[in-house]
């Protein structure tokens, strides 16, 4: 939704009679418009309160004489829905208000607001503090969906807006987390707040990928030298842009209740870590200090005896000595040494720790430790900022196989570490201890964002919590030169371009006027693309534990196929009985999209008619599979599930394809793809239909 400012500001009018608007709307885009005189109550053209009037592609005229409006105030808002093709952007080309009276000036730059824009009141209006002129702007965004950005502008008169650095009509980018102290805040010295009579901020949301998962802004305002809010802002002035749970994957029907315990460690001071789940299980901090966390602040552990103790609660115990209940844990941790730390422990129930060689272990225990089931992950790799996201899920089965360990959103291949006769966790009435060291080891780390759920989270939910469900591999094909196809996921699984001795043999560049890989693909679906000659071109994406033996995954790509069959993305054992394929091929003389996931018995097969998608046309294709659900592959063509030529569920054991490379454009020197491939992504879970639509739409609505 785009909202206008007042079109009649400061003029004299006798009456409003109509409104003209010229728009350019792509096929499948619906637009509606409504009108207001106070920017609060909006009406349809016929006068229905909270109503909307359809806005057609091309020229529109709306008779507003029936509204009887004579005040010099007029606002409109336009709502667009169901964007089908992100390459064709909707435009509101021209508007004209028809009225009797003085000519109104044009709206200034920035005279339109986006849906989700938050305009503050005057932060200095109720201030009784004397300002120094060196105050800063602070904010706390507790949740920011993947692909969404929030920007800020500032003003001392509510009319002309600046970035914090004083650039007119420019914006500052705001990051997620608690940014209310220290260098995370924005300087406001340009605005000379000591002498200013007023101060406002404006926040704008851009590129929201999922309308059902929206940012949550807890607080924002002027921060003084003591890192406290001043003026009319601060805690209590929260603005929640959406109500959907940040713990749920968009479009998923999986159970996704909020955690029964959640400790964000954003207090910044004091000896209490608040339980923000609402269950009141606050933690008592002993010895540990506050430090910069992954989001806002975290708890720093650097000596034995430093910890957070959370008293026992029925909501935080998951066994009765004979029967176990499912639960999940998750943490953010940044370590500075190689020794061992107790991440969290509940005596006679469960224990997890992190130590040398980045080894992450978790175990469940019978009473008095006479039996245990546990798993160990080794050689974990942190994110580029040094932070790990670690998660555990347990399904209550009293078996090691019911435990899953995750590092940075990816399930790991764990080694079992069990002993004795395990009969089930006891309700020990012992507290949960977060932090602390083992023995005399000198472990230093910061722990942040600890959660406990009373159910086993799904792989998709773990990935969503880690980074909003981003792909584990993402090849954009925007290099425009060279033979390295960079992985933009952050996992560094860079591909290598291989051009054979026939067909196109030169990589070239997007600017070289020659018959080359990059020049032929210079106009991709988004920026550049890879052009494959259908003879002997392919990209080797390598092999890595991140992409090996996935039992759940989604592969997506934009393709513009030529006139012959070919493989788009494959992970194969021998090129014929391989592990999984996504291919452009033919059945009964018709072009089809095909995907397979091989097993030692019946392999999963999905072959669908392409319908309107033909050689020479761009199409977005996805193959999604989750063996734990039903064993079927789900195909998507331009975000829609097509009719199937063949649809067979998998049975048996999935083929082991570890140590075999992933290829783009071929399957081990056969079935070479002819055409262009762009934006290849692999997810380590099955995307929901809603998420596929997000991928297809590109995650943004843009106005020109």
Beta strands in 367-499 (DSSP E): 371-377, 388-394, 403-407, 410-411, 415-416, 419-420, 432-435, 445-453, 473-475, 484-485, 495-498
Read off the pLDDT of residues 265-284 as tens digits, 9 standing for 90 and up: 988 889 999 998 888 899 99
Q: Is 2 exposed, middle or buried (0-12, 13-18, 19+ CB in 10 A)?
A: middle
Residue 2 token pair:
């785009």
Beta strands in 323-466 (DSSP E): 327-335, 341-346, 350-355, 359-365, 371-377, 388-394, 403-407, 410-411, 415-416, 419-420, 432-435, 445-453
Residue 314 token pair:
């029925």
Q: Kindly report the pTM of this predicted structure.
A: 0.64
Identify the bridge partners of residue 481 per DSSP, sorted by sequence position.
Answer: 509
pLDDT of residue 642: 87
Checking if the pLDDT of 416 tops 70, the result is: yes
Checking if the pLDDT of 110 tops 70, the result is: no
pLDDT of residue 273: 94
- CA 169/CA 146 separation, integer angstroms: 26
Read off the pLDDT of residues 119-146 as tens digits, 9 standing for 90 and up: 677 788 755 567 778 889 988 887 776 6
Query: Is residue 620 a contact partner of residue 639, using CB atoms and an 8 Å limit?
Result: yes
Q: Is 264 exposed, middle or buried (0-12, 13-18, 19+ CB in 10 A)?
A: buried
- Coil, strand or helix: which one is 103? coil
Read off the pLDDT of residues 41-87 as tens digits, 9 standing for 90 and up: 899 999 999 899 999 988 899 999 999 998 888 989 888 775 544 44
Q: Is 138 exposed, middle or buried (0-12, 13-18, 19+ CB in 10 A)?
A: buried
Q: Could you tell me which residues come within 8 angstroms of residue 475 by beta carbon, excluding any fewer than 6 positions away? A: 485, 486, 487, 488, 495, 539, 541, 664, 679, 680, 681
Read off the pLDDT of residues 289-328 as tens digits, 9 standing for 90 and up: 999 888 778 999 887 788 899 999 989 999 988 899 999 9
* Portion of the chain with pLDDT greater than 70, in percent: 85
* Portion of the chain with pLDDT greater than 90, in percent: 32
Residue 79 token pair:
């709502």
Give the torsion sign (CA, 12, 18, 20, 21): positive
CATH architecture type of domain 261-466: Sandwich (2.60)
**DSSP assignment of 480-511, as one string?**
-BSSEE-BTTSS---EEEE--SSS-----BTT
Task: Please count the other Cβ atoms lying within 10 Å of the Cβ belonging to residue 243.
Answer: 8
Checking if the pLDDT of 208 tops 90, the result is: no
Checking if the pLDDT of 226 tops 50, the result is: yes
- Coil, strand or helix: which one is 36? strand
Buried b / exposed e across 500-527, counting CB within 10 Å, b at 16+?
eeebbbebbbbeeeeebbbbbbbebbee
Identify the bridge partners of residue 360 per DSSP, sorted by sequence position.
Answer: 354, 377
Read off the pLDDT of residues 231-268 as tens digits, 9 standing for 90 and up: 544 333 333 333 345 788 877 888 888 899 999 998 88
Checking if the pLDDT of 108 tops 70, the result is: no
Same fold, 261-466 and 473-697: yes
Query: Is residue 661 a contact partner of residue 667, using CB atoms and an 8 Å limit?
Result: no
The chain-wide mean pLDDT, for the chain, equals: 82
**What CA–CA distances, in Å, run from 88 to 32, 525, 580?**
18, 12, 33
51-65, 94-108, 329-343: the lowest-pLDDT one: 94-108
Place of tokens 């955690």: 259
Say if domain 473-697 classifies as CATH 3.40.190.80.
no
Read off the pLDDT of residues 454-492 as tens digits, 9 standing for 90 and up: 999 999 999 988 887 889 999 999 999 999 999 988 888
DSSP tag of 688: P
- Please tell me which residue, 40 or 242, carries the higher pLDDT value: 40
Query: Is residue 444 a contact partner of residue 436, using CB atoms and an 8 Å limit?
Result: no
Read off the pLDDT of residues 626-651 as tens digits, 9 standing for 90 and up: 988 888 999 999 888 888 888 888 88
**What CA–CA distances, in Å, run from 535 to 57, 97, 127, 538, 629?**
45, 60, 72, 9, 38
What residues does each domain of the chain span? 2-113, 118-240, 261-466, 473-697
pLDDT of residue 578: 55
- CA 96/CA 98 separation, integer angstroms: 6
- CA 413/CA 692 separation, integer angstroms: 28
**What CA–CA distances, in Å, run from 425 to 251, 317, 373, 436?**
35, 9, 10, 22
């Amino acid at each position: 939704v785009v909202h206008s400012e007042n079109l009649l500001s400061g003029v004299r009018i006798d009456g409003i009679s109509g409104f003209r608007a010229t728009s350019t709307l792509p096929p499948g885009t619906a637009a509606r418009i409504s009108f207001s005189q106070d920017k609060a109550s909006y009406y349809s053209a016929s006068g229905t309160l909270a109503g909307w009037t359809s806005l057609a592609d091309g020229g529109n005229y709306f008779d507003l004489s029936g509204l009887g409006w004579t005040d010099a105030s007029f606002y409109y808002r336009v709502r667009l829905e169901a964007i089908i093709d992100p390459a064709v952007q909707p435009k509101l080309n021209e508007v004209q208000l028809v009225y009797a009276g003085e000519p109104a000036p044009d709206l200034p730059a920035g005279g339109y607001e986006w849906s989700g824009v938050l305009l503050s009141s005057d932060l200095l209006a109720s201030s009784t503090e004397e300002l120094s002129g060196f105050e800063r702007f602070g904010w706390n965004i507790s949740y920011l969906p993947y692909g969404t950005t929030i920007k800020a502008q500032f003003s001392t008169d509510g009319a002309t807006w600046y970035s914090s650095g004083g650039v007119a009509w420019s914006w500052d980018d705001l990051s997620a987390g608690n940014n209310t102290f220290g260098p995370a805040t924005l300087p406001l010295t340009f605005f000379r707040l000591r002498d200013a009579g007023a101060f406002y901020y404006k926040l704008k949301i851009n590129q929201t990928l999922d309308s059902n998962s929206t940012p949550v802004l807890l607080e924002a305002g002027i921060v003084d030298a003591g890192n406290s809010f001043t003026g009319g802002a601060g805690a209590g002035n929260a603005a929640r842009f959406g109500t959907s749970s940040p713990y749920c994957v968009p479009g998923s029907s999986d159970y996704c209740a909020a955690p029964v315990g959640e400790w964000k460690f954003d207090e910044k001071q004091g000896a209490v870590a608040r339980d923000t789940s609402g269950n009141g299980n606050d933690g008592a901090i002993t010895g540990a200090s506050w430090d910069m966390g992954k989001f806002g602040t975290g708890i720093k552990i650097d000596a034995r005896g430093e910890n957070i103790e959370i008293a026992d609660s029925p909501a935080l115990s998951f066994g009765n000595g004979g029967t176990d209940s499912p639960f999940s844990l998750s943490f953010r941790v940044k370590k500075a040494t190689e020794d061992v730390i107790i991440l969290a422990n509940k005596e006679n129930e469960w224990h997890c720790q992190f130590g040398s060689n980045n080894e992450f272990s978790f175990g469940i225990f019978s009473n008095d430790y006479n039996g245990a089931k546990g798993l160990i992950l080794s050689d974990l790799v942190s994110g580029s900022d040094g932070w790990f996201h670690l998660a555990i899920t347990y399904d209550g089965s009293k078996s090691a196989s019911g435990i899953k360990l995750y590092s940075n959103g990816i399930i790991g291949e764990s080694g079992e570490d069990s002993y004795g006769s395990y009969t089930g966790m006891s309700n020990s009435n012992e507290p949960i201890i977060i932090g602390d060291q083992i023995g005399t080891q000198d472990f230093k780390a910061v722990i942040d964002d600890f959660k406990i759920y009373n159910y086993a989270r799904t792989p998709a939910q773990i990935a969503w919590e880690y980074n909003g469900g981003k792909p584990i591999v993402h090849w954009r094909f925007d290099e425009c030169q060279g033979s390295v196809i960079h992985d933009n996921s952050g996992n560094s699984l860079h591909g290598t371009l291989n051009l054979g001795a026939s067909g196109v043999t030169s990589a070239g560049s997007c600017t070289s006027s020659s018959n080359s890989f990059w020049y032929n693909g210079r106009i991709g679906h988004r920026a550049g693309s890879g052009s494959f000659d259908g003879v002997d071109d392919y990209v080797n994406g390598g092999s890595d534990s991140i992409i090996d033996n996935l039992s759940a995954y989604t592969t997506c790509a934009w393709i513009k196929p030529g006139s012959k069959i070919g493989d788009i993305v494959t992970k194969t054992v021998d090129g014929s009985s391989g592990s999984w394929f996504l291919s452009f091929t033919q059945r009964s003389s018709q072009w089809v999209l095909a995907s397979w996931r091989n097993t030692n018995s019946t392999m999963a097969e999905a072959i669908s008619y392409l319908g309107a998608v033909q050689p020479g046309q761009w199409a977005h294709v996805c193959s999604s599979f989750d063996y734990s659900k039903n064993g079927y592959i789900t195909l998507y063509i331009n975000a829609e599930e097509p009719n199937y030529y063949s649809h067979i569920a998998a049975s048996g054991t999935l083929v082991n394809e570890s140590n075999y490379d992933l290829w783009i454009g071929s399957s081990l020197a056969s079935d070479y793809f002819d055409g262009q491939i762009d934006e290849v992504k692999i997810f380590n879970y099955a995307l929901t239909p809603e998420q596929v639509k997000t991928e297809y739409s590109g995650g943004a609505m843009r106005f020109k």
